[in-house]
């Protein structure tokens, strides 16, 4: 039954317009709420190799992003994403933006451009991970930009899915939107289980590099 449900969900993703590569990555993903978050290594915008293990004992938020995606622009042009990043930092949470677009695809940038975008938008991630080979994206089954993941201090995946409950690229949809990220973090701080630990992400499909 679980296998059938997963197959049905994957078929739904394909029907929704996600590429077969994106759907396949989801199917192969090792990311499951309540299980250890997949380990990873990636070079950041400053050329440093970063890994999940270096943040052991801290809550980590992963944000898949693509600056050319209208859904991402909605959250950055309104400063919703930057405000969320800064508020999370005040709580000691490590926020990592992940760019998985390969060269030649929408959203691809090199380190210098990634840093320029951060300054221009007054964004405040703790780091920007460049994933042009899509290894981190495949490990987590990232489907859309944005796609959000929260990892608790024990290294367990506590949340995966949408940033909020308004799957629209329209700025007006931010009015009255429920932030799944704020809700999950508040519940974690209170020692409660995350009530909506897995939601359907929305946005532009993640552009995956061919597997070598």
76 phi and psi angles, rounded to 5 deg: -85, -40
The average pLDDT across 131-135 equals 96
Q: Residue 7: pLDDT above 70?
A: no
70-82 b/e (C-beta count within 10 Å ≥ 16 → b): ebbbbbbeeebbb
Q: Are 94 and 133 in contact (CB under 8 A)?
A: no
Asked if residue 174 is part of any domain, the answer here is: yes
Q: State the total domains in the chain.
A: 1
Give a yes or no: residue 50 inside a domain. yes
Asked, for residue 211, whether it belongs to a domain, the answer is: no
Distance between CA atoms of 95 and 101, rounded to whole angstroms?
A: 19
Map tokens 């993703």 to a residue: 13
Radius of gyration, alpha carbons of the chain = 16
The mean per-residue pLDDT over the stretch 175-196 comes to 97
pLDDT band at 136 (very low <50, low <70, confident <90, very high): very high
The per-residue pLDDT for 3 is 43
Q: Which domain holds residue 51?
A: 2-205
In this structure, is residue 96 part of a structural domain? yes
Asked whether residue 212 is assigned to any structural domain, the reply reads no
Token look-up 């990220």 returns 181
What does the pLDDT look like over 9-31, one tens digit per residue? 444 444 444 554 554 555 566 79
Evaluate if residue 209 carries a pLDDT over 70: yes
Average pLDDT over residues 199-209: 96
- % pLDDT > 70, the chain: 85
Region 139-157: mean pLDDT is 97
Which bin fits 47, alpha (ψ -120 to 50), beta or left (φ > 0)?
left
Note the pLDDT of residue 33. 97
pLDDT at 26: 52
List the 49-51 sheet strands across, edge first: 49-51, 41-44, 127-130, 94-99, 60-64, 147-151, 157-161
Q: Confirm whether 53 is domain-assigned.
A: yes
User: Residue 211's pLDDT band (boundaries 50, 70, 90)?
Assistant: confident
CATH number of the domain within which 185 lies: 3.40.30.10
Residue 108 placed within a domain: yes
Rounded-to-integer distance, Cα 125 and Cα 63, Å: 9
pTM of the full structure: 0.88
pLDDT above 90 coverage of the chain, percent: 84
8 falls in which pLDDT band (50, 70, 90)? very low
Report yes or no on 120 lying in a domain.
Answer: yes
């Amino acid at each position: 039954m679980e296998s059938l449900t997963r197959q049905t969900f994957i078929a739904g993703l394909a029907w929704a317009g996600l590429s077969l590569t994106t759907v396949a990555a989801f199917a192969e993903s090792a990311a499951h709420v309540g299980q250890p978050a997949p380990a990873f290594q990636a070079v950041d915008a400053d050329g440093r190799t970063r890994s999940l293990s270096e943040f052991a004992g801290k809550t980590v938020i992963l944000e898949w992003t693509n600056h050319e995606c209208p859904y991402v622009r909605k959250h950055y042009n309104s400063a919703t994403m930057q405000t969320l990043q800064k508020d999370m930092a005040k709580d000691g949470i490590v926020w990592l933006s992940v760019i998985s677009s390969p060269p030649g695809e929408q959203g691809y940038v090199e380190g210098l451009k990634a840093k320029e975008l951060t300054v221009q938008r007054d964004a405040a991630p703790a780091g920007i991970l460049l994933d042009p080979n899509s290894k981190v994206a495949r490990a987590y089954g990232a489907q859309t930009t944005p796609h959000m993941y929260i990892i608790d201090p024990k290294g367990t995946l506590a949340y995966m899915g949408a940033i909020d409950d308004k799957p629209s690229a329209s700025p007006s949809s931010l009015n009255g939107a429920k932030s799944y990220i704020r809700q999950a973090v508040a519940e974690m701080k209170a020692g409660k289980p995350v009530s909506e630990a897995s939601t359907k992400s929305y946005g532009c499909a993640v552009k995956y590099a061919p597997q070598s």
